[in-house]
Amino acid sequence: MNEATTALRPFQDQDEAAVVGVWHRSGQSAYPFLPSWQRLTLGAARDIFRERIRPRCTIWVGTHDGPVVAFLAMVGSYIDRMYVDPLEWRKGWGTRLILLAQTMHPDGLELHTHQENHAARQLYEKHGFRAVKFGMSPPPESAPDVEYHWRPSPS
């Protein structure tokens, strides 16, 4: 990734459409095993973002040559959402967003992901996250998930 053309910055009002687009495209690509995601329209994603995500999350965006290509949404130390546009997968964005979250919350982080989301699980484990509980995601997904925690190494 060329550092001169990339940035991480706080979400701004004008980022909403781009963030929703990244979230929708990434979810459609990452979750072929979730019928609810395959049925989710861009308009429904926009409504969910406006009603449920934006009001309660602190959001950061990753930009590449201007456009938003990734985002991180957090509630305190909980990573609520982290998505990267499929065209930008495997280019370091996940690592950059995790490092940002770890910097903002040096005492620890928590998150959930789907058990079948192997790429995300590998990324989290690479950065020191440990699976602490296996369960089911809430409806409408109702799919096997895993809860991860990251705690800093003792000095």
- Per-residue pLDDT of the chain (155 residues), as tens digits, is 445 589 999 999 999 999 999 999 999 999 999 999 989 999 999 999 999 999 999 999 999 999 999 999 999 999 999 999 999 999 999 999 999 999 999 999 999 999 999 999 999 999 999 999 999 999 888 999 999 999 998 76
Q: What is the pLDDT of residue 19?
A: 98
For residue 16, CA distances in Å to 47, 68, 100, 133, 137 come to 11, 10, 20, 33, 25
For residues 110 and 149, the answer to whether their CB atoms sit within 8 Å is yes
Instruction: Provide the pLDDT for residue 114.
Output: 96
- At 153 the pLDDT is 85
Number of helices (H), then strands (E), in the chain? 5, 7
**What interhelical angle do 93-104 and 118-126 show, nearest 10?**
50
Tokens of 150: 């990251």
- Please count the CA atoms within 13 angstroms of the CA of 61 that sit on its side-chain side: 23
Residue 2's pLDDT is what? Answer: 47
Q: Smallest Cα–Cα separation from 81: which of 107, 106, 108, 52? A: 52
The pTM score is 0.93
